Amino acid sequence: MAYKDDLDRLDKLRAIAKGHTLRLEDVRPWPFPEFERLITACLNADPGARPKAVELAGAC
């Protein structure tokens, strides 16, 4: 979600509720490339290609 760190909690929740998201490509480079890989895999358009919870747990 896109919001400033110094916003109070209610303003952050409002931003989340409005659904103003950031594209993953726009916030690269991530400081944790492995985490980015896992998130990208979970967002796969094909549900069958997404990792299972046990696979994600094993990746940590």
**Residue 3, pLDDT score:** 64
Task: Check: CB of residue 38 under 8 Å from CB of residue 17.
Answer: no
Q: How far, in Å, CA of 9 to CA of 42, rounded?
A: 27
Runs of H (alpha helix) within the chain: 9-18, 33-42, 53-59
**Residue 55, pLDDT score:** 92
Q: Over the stretch 9-56, which tens digit does the pLDDT of each residue have?
A: 888 888 778 876 777 778 878 788 888 889 889 988 899 999 999 999
How far is CA 57 from each of CA 25, 42, 47, 51, rounded to the nearest angstrom?
24, 13, 18, 10
Query: Structure pTM?
Result: 0.54
Q: How far, in Å, CA of 43 to CA of 46, rounded?
A: 9
**Residue 2, pLDDT score:** 61
